[in-house]
Amino acid sequence: MPIQREPWAEPYKIKMVEPITMTTPAQREAALKEAGYNTFLLHSDDVYIDLLTDSGTSAMSDRQWAGMMLGDEAYAGSRNFYHLEEAVQKYYGYKHLIPTHQGRGAENLISRILIKPGDVVPGNMYFTTTRAHQELAGGSFADIIVDEAHDAKSTFPFKGNVDLKKLQAVIDQHGAKKIPYVSIATTVNMAGGQPISLQNLKDLRALTNKHGIRIIHDMTRVAENAYMIKHLEKGQEHRSVQDIVLEICSLTDGATMSAKKDALVNIGGFLATNEWDVFEEARNQVVLYEGLHTYGGLAGRDMEAMAIGIGESVGEDHIRARVGQVLYLGNKLIEAGIPIVLPIGTHGVFLDAKAFLPHVPQTAYPAQTLAAELYLDAGVRTMERGVVSAGRNKETGEDYMPELELVRLTVPRRVYTQAHMDVVAASVLRVHERRASITGLKMVYEPKYLRFFQARFEKI
């Protein structure tokens, strides 16, 4: 990243404020116990700075709020759907659009349409809901991300890249007919918010073309990925983020989008495709799972806010400040010697819980433990991204033991100031200073699907 010589400030001013609760240590201890040491089960009223997720937590602009008033709440053919379709075609270049209530609604549709039992879906690491839908449709996931992505200490700039040799091996083993598509995320959330390079995507396109395999793009944070390409990839520095986003999309055949991230809305998503047959099938199935194909579970006003948010998301000032704020927090922690995933991700800072709490074995959930301790310290809510999130192998029933055992400090877009980031950094340092006294957790309740959302724990 270019060194930041000048101080920077947020490229917006505040027009409305939302007071947040300050809690005492005793209140936090009671709330945490009540929540089974799972930050997902805390009441947000008990949280001071909420870094659980960047999903649906963005502040909308005055233009988006104005757009909400222009909602056309017709059951069929709402004008806001056509605005959204125009925005998707203009900024992302995909031909056909199916709105969904959020990203996983689109993942459900594409998995049901393209995956047959016994199929294999290679991907640049997995995302929890994406893989769950692939498995529900009878497929299995194959990890083809570069090895560097599994190494929290590697500073390789494009940890989201695909290792083409790994993909070739999957093709050789199963045959291209068993691979309905390659699943590519921009950026890779579970690797720590790491980007894929444009060159790697082009090479991937060439290889998949040779075998007639589609690329389906999880474009949840595509503008952030494009920003990193602009700053890190040779020859890309003079291009606009908007232009790079379009090129990324043009190298893929379709996309699932959680508009709750990049696109700056509190709810919404879509499936986009360039293939008429896939579109037609999705238009049939969306009626069963989401709603009619011109609203897909969304109100007209939600679609309008999304259409406007998509345009804002590729604005140079916006994306520089968005990623810049995350880098600010990450650099503060690096300077203080806190072990984090390098390079700093685009949507959050990921603490390396194995290095932070080396005395807590992975079977005692170091990342879950650290997230709980961070909440106790100052009311900062974060998220486990380690063995609890990884879940169990559906064949053997054994826990996946991921290399990466992380706590994610995810920064909502346009919500917190730099001063909030200073408070967060100070809290992490305090917990780090008393790390030797921290012991692990045991799981006392485990739900069947996506267990991290509702699992409960007790102190060992």
User: Which residues are tagged catalytic?
Assistant: 75, 127-128, 218, 261, 385, 452
Please choose, out of 25-33, 125-133, 204-212, 368-376, the segment that lies near ligand F0G by the rule CB under 6 A: 125-133
Count of residues interacting with ligand F0G (CB under 6 A): 15
List 269, 339, 345, 402, residue binding ligand F0G (CB under 6 A)? 269
241 with 227: CB under 8 angstroms? yes
Closest residue by Cα to residue 383 from 193, 256, 223: 193
Q: Which stretch binds ligand F0G (CB under 6 A): 70-78, 90-98, 127-135, 245-253?
A: 127-135
61, 108, 208, 258: which one binds ligand F0G (CB under 6 A): 258
Between CA 45 and CA 41 the distance in angstroms is 12
- Both ends of the chain: CA-CA distance in Å? 42
Which residue has the closest beta carbon to ligand F0G? 103
Helices 300-313, 79-87: axis angle to 10 degrees equals: 20
For residues 350 and 292, what is the distance between their CA atoms, to the nearest angstrom? 39
| Piece of 14-22, 126-134, 168-176, 432-440 that binds ligand F0G (CB under 6 A) | 126-134
Our CB check for ligand F0G shows the closer of 258 and 364 to be 258
SS3 content of the chain, % helix, strand, coil (to 5): 45, 15, 40
Chosen residue from 46, 119, 135, 218 binding ligand F0G by CB under 6 A:
218
Q: How far is Cα 317 from Cα 305, in angstroms, rounded to an integer?
A: 19
Q: For ligand F0G, which is the closer residue by CB, 229 or 360? A: 229
Residues 33-72 that bind ligand F0G (CB under 6 A): 53, 55
**How far is the C-alpha of 347 from the C-alpha of 356, rounded, in Å?**
21
Q: Of 58, 129, 200, 294, which one interacts with ligand F0G (CB under 6 A)?
A: 129
| Calpha distance 148→161 (Å, rounded) | 9
> Where in 179-260 does DSSP place strands (E)?
181-185, 214-218, 254-258
CA-wise closest residue to 282 among 242, 304, 255: 255
In angstroms, give the least distance from the CB of 278 to ligand F0G: 19
Instruction: List the one residue from 96, 217, 230, 260 that touches ligand F0G (CB under 6 A).
Output: 260
Nearest distance in Å: CB 154, ligand F0G: 21
Least Å distance, CB 259 to ligand F0G, is 8
Site string for ligand F0G, 82-111 (x = CB under 6 A): --------------------xxx-------
Q: What's the closest the beta carbon of residue 137 comes to ligand F0G, in angstroms?
A: 16
Window of 9-17, 122-130, 142-150, 357-365 that interacts with ligand F0G by CB under 6 A = 122-130
Residue 381 and residue 229: Cα distance in Å, rounded? 30
Interactions with ligand F0G, residue window 169-198 (CB under 6 A): 185, 189
In whole angstroms, give the CA distance from residue 58 to residue 104.
18
Closer residue to ligand F0G (CB): 49 or 171: 49
12 CB-near residues (< 8 Å, 6+ apart) = 61, 414
Q: Checking DSSP bridges between strand 383-385 and strand 406-410, what pairing results, if any?
A: antiparallel
C-beta closer to ligand F0G: residue 257 or 360: 257
Q: Closest CB to ligand F0G among 314 and 360?
A: 314
CA distance 318 to 304: 19
CA distance linking residue 49 with residue 415, whole number of Å: 10
Task: Name the minimum Å distance from CB 457 to ligand F0G.
Answer: 19
Burial class (CB within 10 angstroms; exposed 0-12, middle 13-18, buried 19+) of 435? middle
Residue 404 token pair: 């990466």
Least distance in Å: CB of 290 to ligand F0G?
A: 12
Site for ligand F0G in 289-348 (CB under 6 A): none
Q: Please, are residues 216 and 186 in contact by the beta-carbon 8 Å criterion? A: no
What is the x/- site pattern for ligand F0G, positions 364-383, by CB under 6 A?
Answer: --------------------
Q: Which of 127, 141, 158, 328 binds ligand F0G (CB under 6 A)?
A: 127
Options 124, 130, 252, 389; binder of ligand F0G; rule CB under 6 A? 130
Minimum distance between the CB of residue 257 and ligand F0G, rounded to whole angstroms? 8
Identity of the residue, 302 or 360, whose beta carbon is nearer to ligand F0G in the bound complex: 302
Taking alpha carbons only, the member of 349, 370, 344, 352 closest to residue 406 is 352
Q: Does 451 bind ligand F0G (CB under 6 A)?
A: no
Distances (CA, A) of 365 to 102, 354, 401: 29, 9, 10
Q: How far is the CB of 260 from ligand F0G (least distance, A)?
A: 5
Cβ closest to ligand F0G, residue 113 vs residue 188 = 188
Q: Which residues bind ligand F0G (CB under 6 A)?
A: 53, 55, 102-104, 127, 129-130, 185, 189, 218, 220, 258, 260, 269
